[in-house]
Structure 1
């Protein structure tokens, strides 16, 4: 074996890298365990403890902070950790309506209604549908007459063609979606969850949000669905705010003292603080930075509860004394202290001394260098104590560069806004020092530029220490005032922490039992060589977890299924090698030569089969979302690490044992002759296989057209709840009888474990508001309690899912195209590798056969087996079956190619040669299939209710895939290539 040193070096480096990556998970879990012990079950205390040490070093060797460890630990998906997954859709109907200044034209408004209705069953973008509907209703109508208003003449001329208007509307719609993305990205920070994720769905007006660990779905719905509100406010200067903050600091310090007399003294001491405020400030900051003793820090927090966390902005004068810096910033604080400061400022006694015309708001982003957040004192004006200007006066905003090449924002207002802006800026520029105007969206300050001069004409430049991304975000925020683009929840998936904990337990159990099954089977069948395969599988899983963590991939329940499946499929390469070695030993070769030739001759089959499966995973990753991407990621990484471990690590272990003179056996007495002289007439009996498959698929088609499928909520739309029942005697009929009268006759009830039921309904699904979500949930609870099925409350709803019909329709179409695309890609790869179209056609027929067999099974037995459900996980299972089947088929094809090359004379009949090739790989085919099936049975029994349907689809799919590799794919080659195979 060449390059042993390089392989050893690379394996050691990879192992060390994996240990390093996984260590963050170990450290983070240790800190969280310490917090749990410290809090003694009090979640508020536990959270406060973790917040307090978020920026403290907790990694003993490298000194990484807890926050850094959290960001680099193995991320768990919502189905394992609990939390909420939300799909938001931007209402482009209202965007288009706003761009027309709410034009009352009846044809225009009817076209909007028609386009909205068409969106429910179409994947075409909204603007295209709207333009088509308008031109259908008014063939000679001019859209420019509706959209070319006084405020946007610079972007759209009055004589513009309909296609130009369409282009303009698409550009503005894209801006509206990006603006909403920016707003939502800011809002999710308010939930305080670890590793939130927000992303845009490609080429749609949808935004996907994941909030792991969130425990209040109602609050999430309310905050995410709120309309963005852009406003401009005057600000107080830091010199005006500091005396108030000093008073608050003294008041809170007095509160910490035991008697009311001390409190009264502290409150009356406010005037002395004003006079000697900066001396106190120097003392507070000096002591706050001294971290040499925890006792000192504790005393500072008691004596100065506010100033120990909130530092007023200062600069050093010529004498080295700190002075208050002019400007709108009232104070600076670290992120870990913000929630504590908010609690202090919102306490009743503090709110009583804050002036009514003042509101304290935080900046939206931390400072670049110090990572501290700025606190602003906003001035409320007028009789209504509101802003000086609303955001609806903005015509446009864009990111530009000034004469020096620095990024800035150019903001344009309409005529009404320009007049008001001139007066506001004139007053702000006339003061000493000059005042700032805060740009506020959703009570977050995005910028507070100082007004240098009176601004007339309605065009303003906003500059500062901006990056290009900062100016793009600010431009999008400013446009939020003009474009009315409400974001509505069209899909959500809520998983309670108890269900997540159960999923983790089930996943660990299935992984452990799956590993034990593989270990026992491989050693029992392959003797000492089986032990080497098991060691390689252990190393493979270790590498897989390390790589997953380093890539910040999210581990989901389907991802765990991918790991369990990897345990079964990882031995496939070892089986191929071992079967080849056994053949070489049977030819009388020495052990060392047999091992060398076994690895060499098995290489082609191993690479072809794994590349085809990898392609399946790649297609799943590209076209899937959420948990499906997690499964695909695990599958692809598992294939790569399996190849490394099977081909290289296993070989190193064999070489080491051979060098030591070890006696390596590749079978036990009972398994040494298994399938050795197999001679089954697969090709001769192919017509029987064709008839069986044809009849089964025909019955499946009849069933599909007559009774259809049990569609999951993500493929049919609706709401689905997993409900826990304390009363274990409750049956699905009891639950169905309780909810059908209220939620409708179409409500589906299915068992979900021993004490849980899945309830799916279309009740009020068209009413897409947060109030409706709460109403449906409450109606469900009341229905179950009224019928005395059980006494339950909101906490008994372990998870919920909502999908609008538009999303469901898109998922169906996407699923069909994904499966077809996978079949074509794999067929193309087979054609490229084997250079004969017969192999490619046979592979395509076999993969289509497998998909149809699984679909037929799920339709025929839909009313017999309750968990046979068509959803996204099912599509992942079908594609995995296709990948496995091709893996299996390629191995057989590779042996057929080898036999046809050896037996190419006219005397050798292709049918006999192919049949011999099938029988020669039968041992490998059956052993691999059994290994995978054993693991899938474990996954099905112990993997939990969440993936029961998924694992069952894999189970029957692997059976059909193994059957098609032997009985369908190869006979098809015979029938298509009788004249061309020699």
Structure 2
């Protein structure tokens, strides 16, 4: 029995220590700690949301219709180049989703349909009218939002905002939350710029290439550049590839020495999609170029066989594969040690350079820092008052058992904040509301058990038997109420927007921790009291 109690108290102590360590970045102690110690500890903790920290809330609408029109114009331009090679007088013009070719002929129709087999064709008054299929239009609009999302994310990373929120809203909108940013015009101008996709040759022949480290921490990026600045050849530059360890979550950056001049740009790219290699059952990126790009890409890959070609978007390296042979046919494969998720992300990045989708600013709200400070203070006061009132009630009404419940309540708060800090969760006002609700549910759990214990004592059972029986009989009721609340929280998280998600996250974590503190924490204290001496009366 004592061995079992010791094991539970050890588990509680370890959880307390882990929670305190995770919370250190949110305390003044962290800043005064030696850097050597901070390197082995979390560096973020709980992140304050936009409503607490202040900043900018933006909503952009992606013009999917214009993305379709731009795609049709690009196809019309490519068709005109094909027709010019056939020395015909026919000309293609784009109008919305339609591409009209005058005059019509069997030969022209064959040329166009060989190049673009997915186009829907009709013939009227000596004209060929090609339209994009409904499926292709939906795909273009969907890709346009993905492209805009990735472009904005890259721009925000350069802007240097800590923990921005960038997510889709509805079918064609993108919500951008920038905590701590006080210059909305600069942020909007930066987001509105077009991403630049480039292909550059890796300069492996330079002496500096051999001196570059395999990886550096993001914080050391500028320091590395300043050290090697004088050694970088005039026609070269150093760019970085971001890498995240999937097991530890650690982010590092790999430096590349690249030729400054791009040998190829995203203007020639028409499509990029994920495919599966049937031989190795691994994903790769299949890219397709327009006719002009296909010819140029074939010439360039033939020229740079056995050299590495870096794929760069907005100054960030995404991949640097070795060119094994001349690549012809207007398509290529980018393979490597990708997971399916990474391959999808890279395909979106590649498409982002080929068809930047126009975006319109729909909403621009600046949240002042004073509002954030007021919100934090109001949230603190609410939580403290709720805790004190609940703790006093429990201690007065349930006496010693109530004090034990208050101990579990303190554990609940410490573990909840520690878990949020460990996950680098974003705390918002709805999140604080979730914490307060979790405190209420923690008390409710103990009330259920205590009332069961009282019933068992009235039946004449000993304190130890009453505690064991009370916990056993209340167990299913407690689990049932917690599981149903978790299901509700999961639905809120799945279908809710940002603030609702914040509420759902804190509520879910609080409920899970409450099960631990009530079924293990308070039970360990009761068992310790009952085992330390012969208890004749239970203070409840």
The corresponding residue for 2:160 is 192
Decide whether aligned partners of structure 1 residues 70 and 87 sit closer, same or farther in structure 2, where only a CA change above 3 A counts.
farther
1:172 aligns with: 140
User: How is 1:163-312 mapped onto 2 (pairs within 5 angstroms)?
Assistant: 165-196=133-164, 198-200=166-168, 204-232=171-199, 238-239=205-206, 312=208
Task: Please say if residues 514 and 564 of structure 1, whose CA atoms lie closer than 8 Å, have aligned partners that are also in contact.
Answer: yes
SS at match of 1:412: strand
Aligned partners of 1:70 and 1:375: how far apart in 2? 27
What is aligned with 2:267?
392
Q: How far, CA to CA, are the matches of 1:220 and 1:345 in structure 2?
A: 31
Deviation, 1:232, is 4.3
> CA, structure 1 residues 608+474, in 2 after alignment: closer, same or farther (shift >3 Å)?
closer
Residue equivalent to 1:858 = none
Higher relative contact order (CA 8 A, sep 6+): 2
User: In 2, Cα distance between the equivalents of 1:608 and 1:236?
Assistant: 63
The CA deviation at 1:16 is 0.9
Q: Is the 8 A contact 2:62 2:357 kept in 1?
A: yes
Counterpart position of 1:953: none
The correspondence for 2:239, drawn from 335, 357, 362, is 362
Matched, 1:336 2:219: yes
Contact preservation (8 Å) 1:19, 1:546: no
- Partner of 1:373: helix, strand, or coil? strand
Contact 1:398/1:475 (<8 A) preserved: yes
Which whole-Å deviations, capped at 9, do the CAs of 1:438-493 have from their partners, x for residues lacking one? 54432334445565665554334455676665554443333334324234454566
Alignment pair present for 1:374 and 2:255: yes
| 1: CA distance, partners of 2:47 / 2:512 | 21
Per the alignment, in what secondary structure is the counterpart of residue 442 of structure 2?
A: helix
Residue number in structure 1 paired with 2:354: 482
TM-score w.r.t. the length of structure 2 is 0.73
In structure 2, the gaps of 5 or more residues are 77-92, 99-110, 123-129
C-alpha distance after superposition, 1:920-942 (max 9, x if no partner): xxxxxxxxxxxxxxxxxxxxxxx
Q: Give, in whole Å, the separation in 2 of the partners of 1:370 and 1:541.
A: 30
Distance of 1:354 and 1:652 partners within structure 2: 67
Gaps of 5+ in 1: 36-52, 110-147, 243-311, 315-323, 381-386, 667-982
SS in structure 1 at match of 2:287: strand
CA–CA distance in 2 between the matches of 1:13 and 1:639? 18
Contact 1:367–1:373 (CA under 8 A) maintained in structure 2: no
Distance 1:80 1:11, change over 3 A: farther
Q: Displacement of 1:94 after TM fit?
A: 2.0
CA distance in 2, matches of 1:591, 1:557: 43
Give the structure 2 partner of residue 313 of structure 1: 209
How far apart in 2 are the matches of 1:94 and 1:497? 38
Q: What is the CA–CA distance in structure 1 between the aligned matches of 2:525 and 2:324, rounded to whole Å? A: 75
How many angstroms apart in 2 are the aligned matches of 1:654 and 1:469? 48
1:632, distance to aligned residue in structure 2 (A): 1.8
Q: Which residue of structure 2 lines up, in the alignment, with residue 70 of structure 1?
A: 43
Kindly indicate whether the alpha-carbon contact (under 8 Å) linking 2:19 and 2:415 is maintained by their aligned counterparts in 1: no
Identify the residue that residue 24 of structure 1 maps to in structure 2: 22
Q: Counterpart of 1:79?
A: 51
How big is each residue's C-alpha offset from its partner over 1:583-638, in whole Å with a ceiling of 9 and x where there is no partner?
A: 66667776666656655665565455444444433332222232322222222332
- Structure 1 residues 108 and 605: alpha-carbon distance in aligned structure 2, compared to 1, 3 A threshold: same
Q: Which residue of 1 aligns with 2:293?
A: 417
Q: What is the aligned partner in structure 1 of residue 517 from structure 2?
A: 645
More strand by share: 2
What's the offset of the Cα at 1:23?
Answer: 0.4
1:749-898 aligned within 5 A: none
Q: How many residues align?
A: 497
Matched, 1:575 2:447: yes
- 8 Å Cα contact 1:70-1:194 kept in structure 2: no
The answer to whether the 8 Å contact 2:241/2:253 transfers is no
- 8 Å CA contact retained: 2:72, 2:94: no
Q: Does 1:630 align with 2:497?
A: no
CA deviations on 1:352-397 (whole Å, 9 max, x unpaired) are x996xx57352343598994432444444xxxxxx55542222333
Match in the other structure for 1:954: none
Q: By how many angstroms is 1:238 displaced? A: 4.9
Cα 1:379/1:550, change in 2 over 3 Å: closer
Distance verdict in 2 for CA 1:574–1:151, change over 3 Å: same
Task: Give secondary structure in 2 for the equivalent of 1:65.
Answer: coil
Change (3 A) 1:629 1:470: closer
Give the CA deviation at 1:656. Answer: 4.0
Structure-to-structure mapping, 1:578-617, within 5 angstroms: 578-582=450-454, 599=471, 602=474, 606-617=478-489
Alignment-derived partner of residue 104 in structure 2: none
Distance 1:34 1:95, change over 3 A: same
Q: Report if aligned partners of 2:431, 2:506 keep a CA contact under 8 Å in 1.
A: yes
Distance 1:412 1:584, change over 3 A: closer
Structure 1 length-normalised TM: 0.43
Q: Which residues in structure 2 correspond to 1:31-50 (within 5 Å)?
A: 33-34=31-32
1:9–1:205: structure 2 CA closer, same or farther, 3 Å change rule?
farther
Q: Is the Cα contact below 8 Å between 1:331 and 1:376 reproduced in 2? A: no
Give the alignment of 1:514-529 within 5 angstroms.
514-529=386-401
Relative to structure 1, the CA distance from residue 489 to residue 20 in structure 2 (aligned partners, 3 Å threshold; closer, same or farther) is: farther
CA spacing shift, 1:237–1:540, aligned 2, 3 Å:
closer
1:22–1:549 CA contact under 8 A, matched in 2: no
Give distance in 2, aligned partners of 1:605 and 1:456.
Answer: 67
Q: 2:330 aligns with which of 442, 450, 458?
A: 458
Q: Secondary structure at the match of 1:9?
A: helix
Give the Cα–Cα distance (whole angstroms) in 2 for the partners of residues 415 and 463 of structure 1.
23
Distance 1:658 1:463 in 2: 64
| 3-state DSSP of counterpart to 1:176 | helix
Contact 1:313/1:331 (8 A) holds in 2: no
RMSD between aligned residues: 4.6
Q: Tell me, what secondary structure is at the counterpart of 1:396?
A: strand
State the alpha-carbon separation in 1 of the partners of residues 213 and 438 from structure 2: 56
Instruction: Give the Cα–Cα distance (whole angstroms) in 1 for the partners of residues 333 and 450 of structure 2.
Output: 72
User: CA-to-partner distance for each residue in 1:803-852, whole Å, 9 max, x for gaps?
Assistant: xxxxxxxxxxxxxxxxxxxxxxxxxxxxxxxxxxxxxxxxxxxxxxxxxx
| Deviation string, structure 1 residues 533-552 (Cα, Å, up to 9, x no partner) | 22222223233334434455
| Distance of 2:476 and 2:324 partners within structure 1 | 73
CA contact under 8 A between 2:239 and 2:256: conserved in structure 1? yes
- Offset at 1:149? 6.3
2: CA distance between counterparts of 1:345 and 1:221?
34
Question: Whole-Å Cα distance in 2 between the matches of residues 6 and 163 of structure 1?
Answer: 73
Change (3 A) 1:453 1:93: same
CA distance in 2, matches of 1:416, 1:628: 49
- Structure 1 residue 26: Cα displacement: 1.3
